[in-house]
């Protein structure tokens, strides 16, 4: 068992997870990610302190069909879940290690990720790690369906049940179903194949509101 004391980022080691570990990793994400949900993943990574797993990260295909084309990406960084006692810089080291693995072991060109302002997130970790800020999401809509506490994109809900709106609420009764209009997420992109001369100070491209806020 991991001690209650703070775990220093430099003490962590990282691994690419295998397929047979996925059920255990999904459980870890549901228990330790603020969303309480874990979508399917294509690439899974784990963070370790000695022999104890303290973090899980998953990448998946872009969540909507047009996302890849709209933002020029092959993959979406969907979840990063770490235990509360993982110290400062643990998340950035974990993300950096995983991106380097993807660059070395795949032919992927770019990764996208979203920061959700509903939870006070503006993408501070991406701003500090040379991700490109692309503004707020466009063309996705901002409607979310909440089914017994599980937050789903409206398209995800439609794909699962083949209906939306009042018909979905009626179909799922007596489950509690809410339709919530949310603020658009902030969009960040990391080019795995970017040449050094193409690197730039990403902060210069960000609105002041993004640069002055901090993730909660």
In words, the CATH class of domain 9-140+184-212 is alpha beta
The pTM of the full predicted model, rounded to 2 decimals, is: 0.77
DSSP character string of 112-181: EEEE-GGGT---HHHHTTTPEEEEE--SS--EEEEETTEEEEHHHHHHHHS--HHHHHHHHTTS-EEEEE
User: Average pLDDT in the 59-69 region?
Assistant: 84
User: Average pLDDT in the 66-78 region?
Assistant: 89
Lowest mean pLDDT: which of 12-16, 93-97, 172-176? Answer: 172-176
Q: Is the pLDDT of residue 93 over 90?
A: yes
pLDDT per residue as tens digits for the range 149-202: 777 777 777 788 888 777 887 888 888 888 877 788 899 999 998 655 444 444
Domain ranges of the chain: 9-140+184-212, 143-181
Q: Are 182 and 144 in contact (CB under 8 A)?
A: yes
Instruction: Residue 12: name the closest of 47, 62, 53, 55 by CA.
Output: 47
User: Average pLDDT in the 116-131 region?
Assistant: 86
């Amino acid at each position: 068992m991991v001690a209650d004391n703070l775990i220093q980022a430099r003490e962590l080691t990282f691994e690419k997870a295998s397929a047979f570990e996925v059920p255990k990793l999904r459980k870890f994400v549901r228990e330790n990610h603020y969303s309480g949900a874990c979508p399917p993943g294509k690439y899974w990574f784990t963070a370790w302190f000695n022999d104890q797993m303290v973090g899980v990260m998953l990448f998946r295909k872009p969540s909507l069909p047009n996302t890849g084309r709209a933002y020029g990406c092959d993959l979406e960084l969907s979840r990063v879940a770490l235990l509360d006692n993982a110290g400062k810089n643990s998340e950035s080291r974990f993300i950096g290690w995983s991106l380097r693995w993807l660059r070395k072991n795949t032919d992927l060109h770019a990764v996208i990720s979203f920061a959700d302002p509903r939870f006070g997130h503006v993408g501070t970790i991406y701003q500090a790690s040379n991700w490109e800020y692309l503004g707020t999401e466009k063309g996705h809509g901002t409607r979310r369906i909440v089914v017994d506490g599980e937050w789903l994109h409206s398209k995800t809900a439609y794909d699962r049940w083949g209906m939306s709106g009042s018909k979905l609420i009626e179909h799922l009764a007596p489950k509690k179903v809410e339709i919530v209009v949310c603020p658009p997420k902030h969009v960040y992109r990391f080019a795995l194949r970017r040449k050094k001369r193409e690197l730039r100070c990403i902060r210069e491209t960000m609105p002041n509101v993004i640069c002055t806020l901090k993730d909660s």
